[in-house]
Amino acid sequence: MTASENFIHRCFDLAKSGLGNVAPNPLVGAVLVHNEKIIGEGYHHEFGKAHAEVNAIIDAEKNYPGLISSSELYVNLEPCSHFGKTPPCVDLIIQKGIRKVFISNTDPNSLVSGRGIEKLRAAGIEVVTDVLKEEGRKLNRRFFTFHEQKRSFIILKWAQTADGFIAPVTKERFQISGDQAQELVHKWRSEEQAILVGKETALTDNPQLNVRLWEGKNPVRIVIDSKLLLPESLNLFDRETPTIIFNSIKTEEQKNISFVKLNFKNPILHQLLAHLYSKKIQSIIIEGGTTTLQKFIDENLWDEARIFTAPKKLVYGIKAPVLETGNFNTEIILVGEDELMVVNNF
């Protein structure tokens, strides 16, 4: 691995610290390097706050203010060139006299998309692009999917027994995966912007769909309830977390609850995703049940599947979704006594 790749890898590691806090912005890390030594580093901590490049420069200014203009900047995504919540990062880079910038990915956002690189080069700054490009795209797969496919990055998640069931046929509560898997799921929820279940799952399990087992933000809760039959006594209606109810009857705003009317005479998933895109929801976890998950699978509207298989058996129950994994990249991980299969479709 080259020196520039090592420094971009450090950017990746820094960027990951912003997961769950920066969306709809991308995950970005930056390092300033002088004579092969890092003199400043930073990452984008929170949406609306300073970007990674700014934090790296501030860090360098604390201890090495005289070295910045003779340093190289490494950043995993093209520096912004427009005014948003913060000023353009390219203007600060130019102002500080940095002469060389290494970048992993060009920003797919139409507001940037090469303009930052052009502005840097016009100012006489040498720019090296595409350093570990594919790894950079994987890191920011949510951001790239949102801007290139105009929809949320979709994660399918379920737990199944060793004999392929997702729940008892009686629909009584039955915890399939172990405690370690449960905690990991709550960590995942803290990393994504939204979580979705169907009406039957909401009614049978009465889920809270929050991150009570992990420290972080609760995702926006989403449920599909075409006829608005769910009782308001459910946890979904506690108004503690923003919640969207997709239905066929009304569009209405209440405290922390949005009712959004869709045309259920037509396929609804594209309608649903179009609404989430308009709300800048960059990623969503689909947690059930089987019917809802299978709809996303059948329409090939998914990017990643995370499937727990527990050593328990039900013999008779509600069958788990069917996902043919043969043509996809898969990874198997042990989480306590459960087997986690991660399937990539991006």
Catalytic amino acids?
53
Is the Cα torsion angle 318, 307, 289, 310 positive or negative in sign?
A: positive
Torsion angles phi and psi, residue 77, rounded to 5:
-135, 145
String of DSSP letters for 91-132: HHHHHTT--EEEEEE---STTTTTHHHHHHHHTT-EEE--TT
Cα 3 to Cα 203: distance, rounded to the nearest angstrom: 55
Other beta carbons within 10 angstroms of residue 63's beta carbon come to 9
**Sequence-distant (≥ 6) Cβ neighbours of residue 86 within 8 angstroms:** 48, 49, 50, 51, 54, 80
Taking alpha carbons only, the member of 100, 89, 96, 117 closest to residue 28 is 89
Taking alpha carbons only, the member of 288, 291, 322, 305 closest to residue 164 is 322
